[in-house]
Amino acid sequence: MARRPAYSLGQNFWRYNLIRFQRRFTRPQLLYVFSIIVGLTAGIAAVILKTLVHSIRGILVANNYSIASQYQIYLNFPLIGILLTVLFIRIFLKGKFDRGVASVLKAISQQSGRLEKHKTFTHIITSAITVGFGGSAGLESPIVVTGSAIGSNYGQLPFFPYKDRLVLLACGAAAGIAAAFNAPIAGLLFALEVLLTDVTISAFIPLILASVTGVLCSKIILQEEILFRFRFLQPFDYHNLIFYLLLGLLSGVISLYYAFVTLKVESLFHRFGPQRQLVKVLTGGLLLGALIFLFPPLFGEGYESIKDLSQGNMQALFQHTLYEQMHDQELFILIFIGAIALVKVIATSVTLASGGNGGNFAPALFVGAYIGFFLSRLVNLISPFRLPEDNFTVVGMAGILAGVMYAPLTAVFLIAEITQGYDLIIPLMVVSATSYALVRRFELFPMDTRELVRKGQIHTHNRDQNILQSLKLDQLLETDFQTISPEATLREIVTVIATSKRNLFPVVQPENGTLAGILVTDDLKEVMFQPELYDKLIARNLLKAPPALVESNEEMPAIMRKFDQTKAWNLPVVEKGIYLGFISKSNIFTAYRSFLLMLS
């Protein structure tokens, strides 16, 4: 008789009240209630992270610092921040730490949407240290991971099925983005574009509730100066449409440059390996410090410099830099702005590749703002046209965000919301769509997830591929096939066939378990009824090679391709030649249908 699990008094009290709470609501109502709870928790987490970063920076970069000490901050503190981040990960997380939105997508694909509990707070701590000390990265990706982990852990309550768990995970991400930018629609669209590959109408209401709750947390708690806001932009002039189209093309090119540089820097720092982690941190920290020393706007998230740029406040932008006396030199300003846009990509890549924690969301906005300003200022300098530089600065952010994150709708509505109006909706759509289309022409997947998609480790927007990816070979492996030795006589083979319900038999070397071939009952009919051959023929003379072999580490999409190519219904599974069992197409189809029912 199976023993019932033992629960402590506290656990029994919790389970009893949880069941009572669950019975008060229908399943949709329960999902709505928890989407608000997730939104509140993720919104507070986003507020805590933003406040932590601004508090750390406020302490480090006080107004009474001299220019000399300011340079010391730029050179030293980014290295300290990366070093502290790496030490935290090594000491408290044993070096196991997944960064970025790709880690959430991988959890959805590989772990049924389950994220570890520590991710509800460790990304807050590590990114606050990295960015607060001047690391040139963004906070939005850590906010997404934190919010997703919060939603995932609420979704692991026993009364939530798989589908609801994914919705709550997306609710946490939506609330985090919404709280970070005071942009509920952008939070909703981000969850739909990036995380939820299969969207149903039932998911919209929980996502809306979570996004609104996250925004309310931001509005009520955060101070206005911490929020990322723009006001007093100029109305859209359709005569400038051709220049917005040009900005979209330029944004696409810069987005491709962004991805190339990021992947190249990651590859270079990966060569250090785990044994030379300290060297990697020191190299990255010193290089980052040098870049920030030359271009101080690279320090931290950089949102303050975007505001100065959009308002044409060049004096503030050049303050505490080596070029403070050059703020009124038009040509130098243009070169300086263009250089910062290109170098920002290197600074962010170095920050993350050397061990810091952060994301590419804010850097994409930063680069977009500088590119938009650069183009509009260049046109104003060399032509009779007069482009609104503030508008191009803001719209450029949408172009790079769409090209880097592959989220054009999020880019459009995020900028529309942070500008507090939809006056620029047409140029936003033109620039975002053009940039996104150009980038997709050369690469189907964003840089953060490109390698994981190619390895088949995360979901895509292909529903069949997603479901197949969620099926695991070890769960579908059939091991009830009766094995036959290569030296077995036909008499022994016939005896095995007579007592077996299968018509397929693996021939396995008894000494090492390697697969020599297979025997199929239909192929043996000619000799099975010739008793004079029973002691003359052995399995080695009768076996044949299987249509294909399936390795134990293969993903289901690759296995299905082998079934399609061979037209077989059963394929043997091996690990380095050692026989493990068979995988059948029928079992895969059954699991596929079960997964569809679970999603419905």
pLDDT at position 1 is: 40
Asked if residue 151 and residue 43 are part of one domain, the reply reads yes
pLDDT at position 250 is: 97
Confidence at 200, pLDDT banded by 50, 70, 90:
low
Domain boundary among 191, 225, 259: 225
Lowest mean pLDDT among 67-71, 88-92, 177-181, 290-294: 67-71
Asked if residue 301 and residue 217 are part of one domain, the reply reads no
- Is residue 223 scored above 80 in pLDDT? no
- Is residue 8 scored above 90 in pLDDT? no
Residue from 258, 256, 171, 250 nearest 206 by CA: 171
Is 7 inside a domain boundary? no
pLDDT at position 224 is: 53
Residues 398-426 have a mean pLDDT of: 91
Residue from 5, 332, 38, 293 nearest 168 by CA: 38
Residues 323-331 have a mean pLDDT of: 80
- Is residue 198 scored above 70 in pLDDT? no
- 550-551: strand order across its sheet: 550-551, 570-575, 578-584
User: For residues 183 and 218, what is the distance between their CA atoms, to the nearest angstrom?
Assistant: 10
- Is residue 517 scored above 50 in pLDDT? yes
Report strand pairing: 570-575 vs 550-551. parallel
Higher pLDDT, 308 or 347: 347
102 phi and psi angles, rounded to 5 deg: -60, -35
User: For residues 541 and 536, what is the distance between their CA atoms, to the nearest angstrom?
Assistant: 10
Q: Are 380 and 337 in contact (CB under 8 A)?
A: no
pLDDT at position 2 is: 44
User: For residues 210 and 190, what is the distance between their CA atoms, to the nearest angstrom?
Assistant: 13
CATH number at residue 101: 1.10.3080.10
Asked if residue 266 and residue 123 are part of one domain, the reply reads no
Confidence at 74, pLDDT banded by 50, 70, 90:
confident
Annotate 466-523 with DSSP letters as a single string.
HHHHH--HHHH-B--PPPB-TT-BHHHHHHHHHH-S-SEEEEE-TTT-BEEEEEEGGG
pLDDT at position 598 is: 63
Asked if residue 190 and residue 96 are part of one domain, the reply reads yes
- Backbone Cα Rg of the chain: 29
Asked if residue 443 and residue 471 are part of one domain, the reply reads no
Asked if residue 158 and residue 123 are part of one domain, the reply reads yes
Asked if residue 290 and residue 181 are part of one domain, the reply reads no
Helix (H, G, I), strand (E, B) or coil at 550: strand
User: For residues 135 and 80, what is the distance between their CA atoms, to the nearest angstrom?
Assistant: 10
Report strand pairing: 515-520 vs 550-551. unpaired
Is 2 inside a domain boundary? no
Amino acid code (one letter) for 404: V
Asked if residue 448 and residue 470 are part of one domain, the reply reads no
Instruction: Tell me the pLDDT of the chain averaged across its residues.
Output: 87
User: For residues 361 and 265, what is the distance between their CA atoms, to the nearest angstrom?
Assistant: 18
Is 3 inside a domain boundary? no
pLDDT at position 81 is: 94
Q: Is the pTM of this model over 0.85?
A: no
Q: Are 129 and 490 in contact (CB under 8 A)?
A: no
User: For residues 530 and 487, what is the distance between their CA atoms, to the nearest angstrom?
Assistant: 19
Q: What residues are paired with 582 via a beta bridge?
A: 478, 572
CATH number at residue 590: 3.10.580.10
Residues 51-63 have a mean pLDDT of: 82
Residues 510-524 have a mean pLDDT of: 89
Asked if residue 368 and residue 414 are part of one domain, the reply reads yes
Eight-class DSSP state of 551: E
What's the pLDDT tens digit per position in 341-376?
999 999 999 999 999 999 999 999 999 999 999 999
Q: What residue numbers bound the domain in which 289 lies?
A: 238-459
Determine whether 262 is exposed, middle or buried from the number of CB atoms within 10 Å of its CB (0-12, 13-18, 19+).
buried
Return the sign of the alpha-carbon dihedral for residues 240, 248, 362, 330: negative
- Is residue 553 scored above 70 in pLDDT? yes
**Chain centre distance of CA 110:** 13
Residue 70 Ramachandran class (φ > 0 left, ψ -120 to 50 alpha, else beta): alpha
- Is residue 102 scored above 70 in pLDDT? yes
Confidence at 4, pLDDT banded by 50, 70, 90:
very low
Lowest mean pLDDT among 303-307, 426-430, 458-462, 534-538: 458-462
Give me the helix-helix angle, 67-92 and 277-294, nearest 10°: 150
Residues 50-72 have a mean pLDDT of: 73
What's the pLDDT tens digit per position in 132-156?
999 999 999 999 999 999 999 999 8
User: For residues 188 and 330, what is the distance between their CA atoms, to the nearest angstrom?
Assistant: 41
Asked if residue 358 and residue 219 are part of one domain, the reply reads no
Q: DSSP E strands: which ranges in 20-153?
A: none
Q: Are 438 and 446 in contact (CB under 8 A)?
A: no
User: For residues 546 and 504, what is the distance between their CA atoms, to the nearest angstrom?
Assistant: 10
Is 339 inside a domain boundary? yes
How many domains does the structure of the chain reveal? Answer: 3
- Is residue 12 scored above 70 in pLDDT? no
Lowest mean pLDDT among 194-208, 294-308, 482-496, 521-535: 194-208
Give the number of C-alpha atoms closer than 13 A to the C-alpha of residue 387, restricted to the C-beta side: 28
Domain boundary among 401, 428, 459: 459
- Is residue 277 scored above 80 in pLDDT? yes
Is 14 inside a domain boundary? no
Q: Are 127 and 154 in contact (CB under 8 A)?
A: no
List Cβ neighbours of 166 (8 Å cut-off, separation of 6 or more): 108, 113, 155, 196
Return the sign of the alpha-carbon dihedral for residues 103, 456, 190, 257: positive
Distance in Å from the first CA to the final CA of the chain = 35
Determine whether 538 is exposed, middle or buried from the number of CB atoms within 10 Å of its CB (0-12, 13-18, 19+).
middle
- Is residue 237 scored above 70 in pLDDT? yes
Residue from 365, 361, 373, 307 nearest 337 by CA: 373
Asked if residue 513 and residue 423 are part of one domain, the reply reads no
User: For residues 517 and 295, what is the distance between their CA atoms, to the nearest angstrom?
Assistant: 66
* Mean pLDDT comparison of 37-51, 186-200, 554-568, highest-scoring range: 37-51
**Chain centre distance of CA 525:** 55
Asked if residue 107 and residue 37 are part of one domain, the reply reads yes
User: For residues 573 and 580, what is the distance between their CA atoms, to the nearest angstrom?
Assistant: 6
Is 13 inside a domain boundary? no
Domain boundary among 432, 459, 486: 459
Is 66 inside a domain boundary? yes
Is 121 inside a domain boundary? yes
Q: Are 202 and 166 in contact (CB under 8 A)?
A: no
Annotate 552-583 with DSSP letters as a single string.
TT--HHHHHHHHHHH--SEEEEEETTEEEEEE
Distances (CA, A) of 573 to 473, 478, 479, 551, 596: 9, 9, 10, 6, 26
- Is residue 90 scored above 60 in pLDDT? yes
